[in-house]
Structure 1
Amino acid sequence: MLPSQQPTQGPWLYSSQQQTAPPDGSQLGELLREYRDLHGLTQIQLAALVGVDQSYVSMIERNKRQVRDVGELRRFAEALGLPEDELGLAPLGFAARLTEAPATPATGPAKPQEALGEQQRWRHVRRALNSHRLELSRAAAAFYADIPRAGQSLVLAKPEWMAPTPVDLSDVSLTWINQDTPPLVTGVEPESRAVRPMSAQGRPFGRYSQAIRIVDPPRLFDNRLSYRLLEVDWSGGVADLAFGYTMYFDMFDVCEGLAHETAQGWIDAASDPNWLDAPAAALPFRKLIGDPFDLSRRPLLPSIDTLTIRLGRAGEDPSFVLHHRSSASVAIAGDTYHVMPAGVFQPSSPFPAHQSNDFNLWRNMMREYAEEFLGLPEADGNSSEPIDYQHTEPYRALSRARRSGQARAWCFGIGLDPLTLAGEILTTVVFDPDVFDELFVDMVNQNMEGTVVSTSPDRFSSGIPFTEDNVRRLLDHEPLAPAAAACLSLAWEHRGTVLG
């Protein structure tokens, strides 16, 4: 099965022999052994290229483990440049390839050893990025010293994108634009080469998200159809936001690519003390973006970040809940405290009926409440029927509380994270205590993205008292994600309005 001719074409290990049935992936162990022999790799090195444990590779090669899961087979195929159909997979369809970058031409024969070294260095920077996001956010904020901040946070806040005082979420209207111009920067440009390591195929990964999937994958990492912010008009106390379509990885390729480039510069700064004085020279990808508020430059997919406040009964302080995000589970804002809920603005499914049904900020927020507060499975819209928000719990109860005034949703505006330049729709929802306790009586203390933070070890839904001392401590001394700091400081600044 090993190629006897044209060895410079890359690590294609298979002949075109006819078969009586499509392969089912059961020959993966034999193929991995031949790949290692061809390139002189150990099991540990091959495992590192694919992003799995050495013991897993050993079990596959010894036929102690059969791999027939589509995601796992595709992982091996993509990492090692193996034809998917040889592993029992049909080639990816056209729709799935829409967001893939054009292949970067290989510079010669595949060099897995060289790729392994480059990927190890890339992984080191990625781990530093996740461990030092706040330091890096402060460094990145210095690049935009002339831009105001959202509250007492690092979030970049263009005055035209922020409300002077909080506005009711009902006063934020959404407009749909069917035809929109593709962004000018997508993350495949030569300026982003430093954040895209070499693959085992002898060429750089086409996109940052491709490298993440293979080299350092989090548990939650799906490419989902999403809403791209195209226009912002905030005047007269109301906001009109215009959106078109994008994909989650389109945003990720640019935003996390910018963060990775900054982390690399931050690591190198130990030997280059002038790095912060000349960021353009050290950060060509960030320089390429230019004005961070220019919505034509890159795909801006905003998240909705919501500080949830429970009003206190007589003699009680209001309280709020925070979320410690696990860097092993999420690809963005890992190892920080964040508000709950928080999630990107996207439909629950690519089905057309879902796209229009879910084009609503409150409905997006309710889905995140169901997932993060109650531990319910993510509403991924696998059914062709759109979600019935009027009659399905907990959406019905949440909406009833808002209609009755027992839950009040406010919006502060839209800011940008300085490190990633990701968009943040900053909001807060204030619940009456009886309604909060009824809605979230089964509130979880851990979900798919991390763990709930509270001052009570026995009742996580009790949260953190909304007092000046606690707000000040969190803002000054704790690893708050910039968007969380913005929501918290703005809610405290405008507490007379939002608390009623």
Structure 2
Amino acid sequence: MGADIRTLTSSERAWIDTRTYLRERRTTLDVAAAGMFSEAPRVADTPLLTRSQWIPTAPLLLEDITLEWCPEQVPPVLALASPMLPVRASGQPYETYAEAVGEIAAPVVFENRPTYRLLHADLACGAPVLRFGTGYYFDSINVGEAAAHEFTAEQLGHRGAGGVRAAIADPCDPGQRPINLAISSLTIRRDPGTGSRSFLLHWRDPRKVGHAGGLYQVVPVGIFQPSGYPDWNVANDFSLWRNMIREYAEELCGADEDHGSEEAPIDYAAWEFAARMEQARRDGALTAYCLGLGVDPLSFATDLLTAVVIEAPVFDDLFGTTVTSNAEGRVLELQPFTADQVHSIVSEHPMQAAGIAALRLAVAQLS
């Protein structure tokens, strides 16, 4: 936490108690929150909300999705105030949810970096497209995490807690709220000799992350965003694949998040790891698929569900010394990628809805 618990006001302690309850019961709360959107389509029998045009009829090759950059179309961020924000000892309330997190419950990584804000998505048409403008990381904290906190408070008996949440009638509508897109990638190792497959899981340490701490998830996962603040990164990093490469380097190889892009754009061709990943993709030893897009009904976190199948020799060469811990949690050893094992994992472990959806879609469509 960002402050000693003994210095907090009763209001701040109550806020932390609700946030702790939210973290510890997130899976149950997800299911309950989904009940508020009974008419919305779901992804793979999970609480994850979606739209018909967000789920392709079959997995898409990542390179077949067109990205459009339209910053001039970005609607303003709504000034939504949550009634559940705590009050400081001075009597002054926190102005935003991100401000409260930053001062009294900050994870190790918590920075208002620029993002690519999702404006439109159609993955079910003949020419799949994702359209983006400019956003910031705290936009989704101030709306989505505040909405999750409000829902939790209501479950705990606090009336009138739904200020932000009540303002969002359809969390799948990019016009109603700022949407930061996370790319959730299921990594699958394929043995070319036997055809057997295995996959990786990640446990998100609540002390290190600002979202979904304590839950299991596919790996890697990262917000779709430029690698740094300078404007030159916006165009250079505007690629789903390049974003995924950076996350692979950080979450599975222990690489630093600082790629030097504050001084100059990343030279992906000269970066050895990125070049090896790209070469494997060109050679057909690595294939990246898009499975769909969904929204968490509790926090409104929005995930592009992807799966990356890597031939075992390439996987072992790239990740043979995969780290067991990283800046966001712990990487588990490879699990058999079978329908039975996927069912066992999602039944016995608290997982993000996006992770469950990615696993179920992939085991049904890529096996």
TM-score interval w.r.t. the shorter chain?
Answer: over 0.9
| 1:356 to 2:235 alignment | yes
Residue 240 (structure 1) shift? 1.0
Separation in 1, partners of 2:22, 2:73 = 33
Unpaired runs of at least 5, structure 2: none
Q: Is the 8 A contact 1:185 1:289 kept in 2?
A: no
Code of the residue aligned with 2:357 in structure 1: it is: A
Task: Determine the structure 1 residue equivalent to 2:344.
Answer: 473
**Contact 2:74–2:134 (CA under 8 A) maintained in structure 1:** no
Deviation at 1:179, TM superposition (A): 1.2
In structure 2, the residue corresponding to 1:300 is in which secondary structure?
Answer: coil
State the alpha-carbon separation in 1 of the partners of residues 55 and 189 from structure 2: 25
For 1:193, the equivalent position in structure 2 comes to: 83
Deviation at 1:180, TM superposition (A): 2.9
Residue 51 of structure 1 corresponds to 3
State the Cα distance separating 1:381 from its structure 2 match.
4.2
Residue 267 (1) aligns with residue 164 (2): no
1:395 to 274, 277, 285: 274
Look up the SS of the partner of 1:414 in the other structure.
strand
Q: Is the 8 A contact 2:108 2:207 kept in 1?
A: yes
Amino acid at match of 1:476: S
Partner of 1:375: 254
Q: Summarize deviations over 1:361-389 as a string: whole Å, max 9, x none.
A: 00000000000000010135453211111
CA offsets 1:61-81 (integer angstroms, 9 cap, x no match): xxxxxxxxxxxxxxxxxxxxx
Note the alpha carbon deviations across 1:37-57, whole angstroms, 9 max, x for none.
Answer: xxxxxxxxxxx9x61377xxx
SS across alignment from 2:71:
coil
Q: Distance in 1 between matches of 2:339 and 2:24?
A: 28
TM-score (norm 2): 0.95
Matches within 5 A, 1:283-298: 283-298=162-177
The separation in 1 between residues aligned to 2:195 and 2:53, in whole angstroms, is 37
CA gap 1:184/1:377 in 2 versus in 1, 3 angstroms: closer
**Structure 2 counterparts to residues 139-150 of structure 1, below 5 A:** 139-150=32-43
> Any gaps of 5 or more consecutive residues in structure 1?
1-47, 55-112, 270-274, 276-280, 455-462
Quote the residue 2:140 is aligned against.
251
Which structure's relative contact order is higher, taking Cα pairs within 8 Å and 6+ residues apart? Answer: 2
Q: How many residues align?
A: 367
Report the Cα offset of residue 186 of structure 1.
4.0
| Partner SS state of residue 428, structure 1 | strand
Give the deviation of 1:494 after TM superposition.
0.2
Change (3 A) 1:425 1:186: farther
- Once residues 407 and 298 of structure 1 are traced to their aligned partners in structure 2, the CA distance between those partners, rounded to angstroms, is 35
Write the deviation string for residues 378-429 of structure 1: whole angstroms up to 9, x where unpaired.
1354532111111212111001101111000000121101111121111000
Question: Would the aligned equivalents of 1:183 and 1:297 in 2 still touch at CA under 8 Å?
Answer: no
Distance 1:184 1:343 in 2: 22
Q: CA RMSD in A?
A: 1.9
Superposed displacement of residue 285, structure 1: 2.4
Amino acid at match of 2:253: L
The one of 436, 443, 446 equivalent to 2:325 is 446
Residue 236 of structure 1 deviates from its aligned partner by 3.1
Partner of 2:361: 490
Partner of 1:174: 67
1:87-137 Cα deviation digits (max 9, x unpaired): xxxxxxxxxxxxxxxxxxxxxxxxxx9x70100100100111111110110
Partner Cα separation in structure 2 for residue 123 and residue 369 of structure 1 = 32
State the alpha-carbon separation in 2 of the partners of residues 332 and 306 from structure 1.
17
Residues 180 and 316 (structure 1), Cα distance of their counterparts in 2 relative to 1, 3 Å cut: closer
Q: Distance in 2 between matches of 1:164 and 1:157?
A: 14
Cα distance per residue 1:170-225 (max 9 Å; x no partner): 111110113134345343x3xx122x111233221110000001111111111101
Gap change, CA 1:321 and 1:362, over 3 Å in 2: same
Partner of 1:210 in structure 2? 99
* C-alpha distance in 2 between matches for 1:167 and 1:237: 11
- 1:300 counterpart = 2:179: yes
Deviations 1:294-325 (A, max 9, x none): 21111100100000000024346200000000
Residue 228, structure 1, aligned to residue 180, structure 2:
no
Check whether the contact 1:208–1:257 (CA below 8 A) recurs between aligned residues: yes
Tell me how far 1:150 sits from its aligned partner. 1.1
Asked if structure 2 preserves the Cα contact closer than 8 Å seen for 1:184 and 1:296, the reply is no
Secondary structure, aligned partner of 1:314: coil
Q: Is the 8 A contact 1:152 1:485 kept in 2?
A: no
TM-score normalised by structure 1 residue count: 0.70
Specify whether residues 183 and 142 from structure 1 end up closer, same or farther in structure 2 by C-alpha distance, changes over 3 A only: farther
Classify the secondary structure of the residue corresponding to 1:238: coil
Say if 2:74 and 2:119, in contact at 8 Å, map to a contact too: no
Q: Distance in 2 between matches of 1:495 and 1:180?
A: 36
Rounded Cα–Cα distance in structure 2 between residues aligned with 1:343 and 1:437: 22
For 1:8, the equivalent position in structure 2 comes to none
Provide the C-alpha distance between the structure 2 equivalents of 1:318 and 1:238, rounded to a whole number of angstroms. 30
Partner letter of residue 337 of structure 2? Answer: F
Task: Write the distance in 1 (CA, Å) between the matches of 2:32 and 2:224.
Answer: 27
The one-letter code matched in structure 2 to 1:179 is E
Cα 1:147–1:381 shift into 2, 3 Å? farther
The reply on whether 1:330 has 2:209 as its aligned counterpart is yes
Q: 1:36-115, aligned counterparts within 5 Å?
A: 51-52=3-4
Q: CA deviation at 1:251?
A: 1.2
Runs of 4+ residues deviating >4 angstroms: none
CA–CA separation in structure 2 for the residues paired with 1:448 and 1:178: 31
Percent identity for Structure 1 against Structure 2: 37
Shift of 1:245: 0.6
2:16 pairs with 1:123: yes
Alpha-carbon separation, structure 2, partners of 1:312 and 1:144 = 41
Equivalent position SS for 1:268: coil
